[in-house]
Homo-oligomer: A and B are copies of this chain.
Amino acid sequence: MANADEQTVDPRVADSFAQQPLMALIGARIVEAHDGRATIELPRNQTLTQQHGYTHAAVLAAIGDSACGYAAMTLAPQGRGVLTVEYKISLLAPGDGELFVAQAEVLRAGRRLSFAQATIHAEQDDARTLIATLSATIASIDESRHA
């Protein structure tokens, strides 16, 4: 997905993403965010692994949760932000690959709460494996409180 059109990233999402130090620390990039969908990619990095050499579940959760939040942000009214209330991640297979791709979609966008889910795939050579799924509840917040 290296050729993803940057125009498809909602400007509010791009701004918010750029202000997240953790996303820079782990090397994540947002490649799509519009119409209730968002995609975040993360190249493998040895500093993000656990004791068996796989990418740490927390890092997969970081991109999965963020993708859910940004998918919800694309549907939020002006002046409203998003905050994750809770999420569950299921770890189907080890975090083994060269690139990790979290793709989220909003299942229901409410005035106060939204529900989103994400898949996380590992890509290696020509193979693409589903390694995790994540479901999140996201609250709508008054973004000006954090300005």
Contacts and interface: CB of A to CB of B under 8 A. Distances in A.
Interface of A: 16-17, 19-22, 24-25, 46-52, 56-59, 61-62, 65-66, 83-93, 107-108, 112-113, 115, 117, 130, 133, 135, 137, 139, 146
Given A20-B49, A146-B52, A87 B84 contact: no
11 contacts: A16-B51, A19-B51, A85-B91, A86-B89, A86-B91, A87-B88, A92-B107, A92-B108, A93-B108, A112-B112, A137-B137
Given A130-B108, A135-B133, A137-B137, A20 B90 contact: no
Total copies of this chain within the assembly: 4
Residue among A49, A115, A117 with max Cβ neighbours from chain B (10 Å): A115
Contacts of A65: 57-58
B22 A137 contact: no
Nearest to A134: B135
Given A16-B51, A85-B90, A112-B112, A22 B133 contact: no
A90 B62 CA distance: 14
Nearest to A119: B107
A86 B21 contact: no
Contacts of A115: 90, 92, 133
